Amino acid sequence: MPKKIRELIRALKDAGFTDRGGKGSHRNFTHPQGGKITLSGNPSHDAKRYQERDVEKVLREVNKK
């Protein structure tokens, strides 16, 4: 079962990412240690596999630093 976009957003915010806003359904997140990611989609929609993978990757990168 795929995660929802809102779950990915919550994971990013819990890790210290800041939502910088965006256009339309896009949201830009940045982290003080340099991580950046853009998520698109309505919070109630299912996340695509590549979105889940990208969030996992940026969370791993930030946790290494």
Crossing angle, helix 5-14 and helix 49-64, to 10 degrees?
0
Run of H or E residues at 38: strand 36-40
65, pLDDT greater than 80 = no
The SS3 assignment for 55 reads: helix
Q: Give the number of residues written for the chain.
A: 65
Beta strands 36-40 and 18-19 are unpaired
What percent of the chain stands above pLDDT 90? 94
Per-residue pLDDT averaged across 6-32, rounded?
96
Q: Which ranges constitute the DSSP H helices of the chain?
A: 5-14, 49-64
pLDDT at 64: 84
Average pLDDT over residues 11-22: 96
This prediction's pTM: 0.93
Please state, for a pLDDT cut of 70, what percent of the chain lies above it.
98
Tell me what the mean pLDDT of segment 3-7 comes to: 97
